[in-house]
Amino acid sequence: MTDFGTIDVYVGTMKAVMARLCPRARFIDITHAVQPQNIQQAAFTLFTSFRYFPPGTVFLVVVDPGVGSVRRPLAAHAGDYYFVGPDNGVLTYALAEYEEVAVVELTNTDYRLDILSHTFHGRDIFAPAAAHLANGITLAEFGPPVDDYYRLPPPLLDISGSTISGEVIHIDHFGNVVTSIGEIRRSSSGSLYLIAPFALAGKRQPVLTLPSSVSISLSKLKLARIHKTYSEVPPGAALALVGSSGYLEISINGGSAAQAFNVTIGDPITLQIG
């Protein structure tokens, strides 16, 4: 996963490095369309996707505005997975799912390319490390352990009485606006309840039951309920629903909510109960 896009050679070059070092590797692109330099969006994207991959998967995450600076290159082992990326918070939410996490700094030059660029550590440091991990090199061989790796603060989610305050954390290709109000789950009886998200080691507990009738405010938009599907409103109409990752989304049936309401990542949203 990167913010490189697919027009330039960067993604293909990184895959080429890994294919030479680990010919048996299979590659799955989560996305290369993370908003440029948006570390929090990258962390959330990894968080909502990594658990669906097979055990033993090595996740290579390069969203790295600090490339070439003093920020450290890292590799981590948590649960059934390995992660490689810069020490800037991109791994925060995924690693927070586990009580036991091992993290090392990638200092061993045996597992880098011979010539090191100051601006493309994805090719020269991170891709080789991911390939060597896939080849079975143990984490300890890459460098010394790290306990003070950088952790992003959780996205805004404040519950004050009957008011829930959050922020926009992702906008997908369709213009659906994903917010930090989640995880929202639906019980067998159809009731919605809010889980405290991004809790350490996956210890999420229900914190609030949501009625079907609420007051949601985002930009100039006001909505009065949470729907199940897009088709519950007419084409072109706005709605709130619980998206596939369990987070509250603002959408337009057949359109782009982000464009229609001029919404960007970081914008505030409130949900009022009663």
> What is the pLDDT, as a whole number, of residue 196?
66
Q: Which residue has the tokens 């010919």?
A: 23
Q: Give the separation between CA 219 and CA 213, rounded to whole angstroms.
A: 19
- Provide the CATH number for the domain around residue 265: 2.40.30.90
Q: 128 — phi, psi (to 5°)?
A: -60, -40
Amino acid type, 50: F
Residue 228 belongs to a domain: yes
- Is residue 80 a part of any domain in this protein? yes
Residues 138, 184, single domain; the answer is no
Are 47 and 80 within one domain? yes
Which stretch of 35-39, 80-84, 96-100, 197-201 has the lowest confidence by average pLDDT? Answer: 197-201
Tokens representing residue 242 in the block: 């619980």
The answer to whether residue 86 is domain-embedded is: yes
Query: Side by side, which strands form the sheet with 73-78?
Result: 58-60, 81-86, 73-78, 101-105
Q: Is 261 helix (H, G, I), strand (E, B) or coil?
A: coil
Q: Determine the pLDDT at residue 204.
A: 63
State the average pLDDT over residues 30-37: 94
State the pLDDT at residue 206. 67
* φ/ψ (deg, to 5) at 53: -90, 160
The answer on 201 and 115 residing in a single domain is no
First vs last Cα of the chain: how many Å apart?
41
Residue 4, in any domain of the structure: no
- Residue range(s) defining the domain that contains residue 84: 10-142
Domain tally, the chain: 2
Q: Please give the C-alpha separations between residue 29 and each of 15, 26, 55, 80, in angstroms, as whole numbers.
A: 10, 10, 17, 19
CA distance 109 to 230: 51
Residues in the chain, overall count: 274
CATH of the domain at 61: 3.40.50.10790
Q: How many CB atoms lie within 10 A of CB 254?
A: 13
Q: Is pLDDT at 201 greater than 60 in this prediction?
A: no
Claim to verify: residue 41 and residue 124 sit in the same structural domain: yes
Final residue before a domain boundary, out of 142, 175, 192: 142
In a domain, 254, yes or no: yes
Q: How far is it, in rounded angstroms, from Cα 35 to Cα 40?
A: 10
Identify whether residues 188 and 265 lie together within a single domain.
yes
In a domain, 44, yes or no: yes
Of 107, 142, 177, the residue at which a domain comes to its end is 142
If you average pLDDT over residues 190-204, what whole number do you get? 65
Shared-domain flag, residues 169 and 125? no
Residues 120 and 162 grouped into a single domain: no
How do residues 102-142 score in pLDDT, each as one tens digit? 999 999 999 999 999 999 999 999 999 999 999 999 999 99
Instruction: Give the residue from 241, 262, 269 showing the smallest Cα distance to 168.
Output: 269
Calpha distance 251→113 (Å, rounded): 45
* Same domain assignment for residues 67 and 129: yes
Residue 147 lies in a domain: no
Residue 151: inside a domain: no
Do both 178 and 68 map to the same domain? no
Does residue 96 share a domain with residue 67?
yes
Query: Is the whole model's pTM more than 0.85, yes or no?
Result: yes
Structural tokens at position 53: 């991959």
Single out the residue of 154, 46, 151 nearest to residue 89, CA to CA. Answer: 151
Instruction: Choose the final residue of a domain: 142, 175, 210.
Output: 142
Average pLDDT in the chain? 91
Same domain, 231 and 132: no
For residues 182 and 255, membership in a common domain is answered with yes
Question: Where do the H-state alpha helices sit in the chain?
Answer: 10-21, 39-49, 92-95, 121, 127-134, 257-260
- Specify whether the CB–CB gap between 139 and 107 falls below 8 A: no
Looking at 35-49, 54-68, 199-213, which range is the least confident one?
Answer: 199-213
To which residue do tokens 């490189």 refer? 4
